[in-house]
Amino acid sequence: MTVDTDPSAGTPTACRRALEALRNGVPNRDAVRALGCSQLDVENDFVSQLDGLSASVERDEPLKGLLVAGEFGTGKSHVLEYLQHLALSRNFVCSRVVISKETPLYDLGKVFKAAVDSALVPDRRGPAVSEIAIGIKPGSRAYDDFYRWCDSDQSGLSALFPATLRLYEKLKSDIELTEKITDFWAGERLAIADVRGGLRQLGELSAYAVKAVKVAQLARERFAFMSRLVLGAGYSGWVVLIDEVELVGRYSILQRGKSYAELARLLGRVQDDGFAGIATVATITSDFELAVLNEKGDRDNIGPKFRSKGGDEWAVLAARAEAGMRLIEREQHQLVPPNDAELLTTYSRIREIHAHAYAWNPPEIGRPEHGTTRRMRAHVRRWIAEWDLRRLYPQSAVVLEEETLRVEYGEDASLEVSPEGTEGAETESTG
């Protein structure tokens, strides 16, 4: 499926960028343009998800996201890059989040910040939230629907959000304040005194019961608010792509359980606390279920462990964690290994890219063997490496050695991050 008409897509510079990304196993836009995506089932389900977003917003129900599974090196990140490319072409704001030590899945606030920081806005180049906010047009149907939702009990938002939205709309001449507001929407702190001062200027201080919000609650509210802000500014919706969920396997059991709960929420499996307006896709390794849910005993142990702590909060968390684990067990979209014809097509395409990138004629080298078990990433990197060496050292024999990398699921204490607390007095700041 063609989703890009950029005239620079086939230039030597773009071809070199594509090869560099493929060498490193980190696909970029140029690599996606060059190779496309052969995972048609995932693509079709993703398009159906995008097509259903408007209806899910009207029902105020979270949209069920996709969980894509594959072995290391089978192209999960390439698929996400392709889906991002596709979403941007359909006027969706799109974010890529890689689960890491800095962005643990169990911390929704950090996931939100990573999503906002990585967000791409169609045909815009500045900070995402500022660019989205520029698109707000008071008086338009999209904005009026957004403001009514934001200021209603249905939204579940604290008064801080409709209040800041009102200030952004009415006090645009106060550049310092509006910048603080967009920074707050993007995950930064905001002084309550600034909000109250702005409302006082408008004579609307009594209209909004503004006070500080607990950080855990604020993370959920920011996701909900941002998903509707995107729509209110005239975009088709917000796509959030989450890569390397398998890192969860290296957390402690408590953090693994919290991560499963957040996975369920982000992928729309928590009906009473999800985010309408967000289309989500996450990736995970195929052996995660066996290695972590089974062999580590998470399926049997996490629910009872959480419930044993007592209280409604832990009972709710247990139910959500179990929903996340069921999602991993039952609803994975397994990547389809490339067949011989697809391997040959990819080989020929990369040979063309290499030729155009360096203005030479790459020789024929070892083509994909019939029935090979080598992963696509290994094929691609081997072809590129051999052509690189033959171009640079044409008189030398080329011998390549390969080593198989495996995903580790042993617990890593360095991944433990202290959870954020709550803000203090309401006269201070929130965020």
- Average pLDDT per run of 10 along the chain, which is 431 residues long? 43 91 81 81 96 94 95 85 94 97 96 97 94 93 94 94 96 94 96 96 95 92 97 96 97 97 97 91 96 96 97 96 98 88 88 94 76 71 91 83 71 68 41 59
Task: Classify strands 429-430 and 190-191 as parallel, antiparallel or unpaired.
Answer: antiparallel
Does residue 4 fall inside a structural domain? no
Share in percent of the chain as helix, strand, coil (round to 5): 55, 10, 35
Domain-terminating residue out of 336, 361, 378 = 336
Question: What per-residue confidence (pLDDT) applies to 6?
Answer: 44
* Same domain? 248 vs 106: yes
Classify residue 25: in a domain, yes or no. Answer: yes
Q: Which of 163, 187, 222 is the last residue of a domain?
A: 222
Which of 250, 244, 252 lies closest to 301 in space, CA to CA? 252
User: 329 with 249, same domain?
Assistant: yes
Q: With the CA atoms of 192, 195, 201 and 205 taken in that order, what torsion angle do they form, in degrees rounded to the nearest 10?
A: -70
For residue 400, give its domain range.
15-37+339-415
For residues 350 and 401, membership in a common domain is answered with yes
Residues 282 and 351 in one domain: no
What pLDDT is recorded for position 219? 95
Asked, for residue 424, whether it belongs to a domain, the answer is no
- Within this chain, do residues 51 and 21 fall inside the same structural domain, yes or no? no
Same domain for 209 and 282: no
Residue 348, in any domain of the structure? yes
Q: Is 377 helix (H, G, I), strand (E, B) or coil?
A: helix
251 and 332 fall within a common domain: yes
313 CB-contact burial (10 Å; exposed 0-12 / middle 13-18 / buried 19+): exposed
**Contact status, residue 16 vs residue 203, Cβ threshold 8 Å:** no
Output the pLDDT for position 4: 44
Q: How far apart are alpha carbons 98 and 115 in whole angstroms?
A: 9
Nearest Cα neighbor of 77 from 30, 25, 3, 14 is 25
- Tell me, what's the pLDDT at 379? 84
Q: 277 phi and psi, to 5 degrees?
A: 100, 0
- Per the structure, the count of domains in the chain is 3
Rounded Cα distance between 386 and 96, Å, is 31
CATH number of the structural domain spanning residue 259: 3.40.50
Q: Are residues 106 and 240 in the same domain?
A: yes
Asked whether 243 and 140 are in contact (CB, 8 A), the reply is no
In a domain, 126, yes or no: no
Q: What is the pLDDT of residue 374?
A: 66
Question: In degrees to the nearest 10, what's the CA dihedral of 326, 331, 337, 342?
Answer: -160
**Are residues 400 and 327 both part of a single domain?**
no
H or E element, residue 280: strand 278-285
Cβ-proximal residues to 60 (8 Å cutoff; 6+ apart), any chain: 154, 276
Of 284, 312, 336, the one marking the end of a domain is 336
Q: Compute the distance between CA of residue 326 and CA of residue 329 in angstroms, rounded to an integer.
A: 5
First-to-last alpha carbon distance for the chain, in angstroms, is 42
Contact in structure between 42 and 335 (CB atoms under 8 Å)? yes
Does 2 fall in a domain?
A: no
Q: What pLDDT is recorded for position 425?
A: 29
Residues 303 and 322 in one domain: yes
Q: Do residue 139 and residue 96 come from a single domain? A: no
For residues 102 and 92, what is the distance between their CA atoms, to the nearest angstrom? 26
Q: H or E element: which one contains 331?
A: none
Q: What is the pLDDT of residue 430?
A: 62
Output the pTM of the full model.
0.85
Tell me if 429 is assigned to some domain: no
In a domain, 230, yes or no: no
pLDDT of res. 72: 79
352 and 407 in one domain?
yes
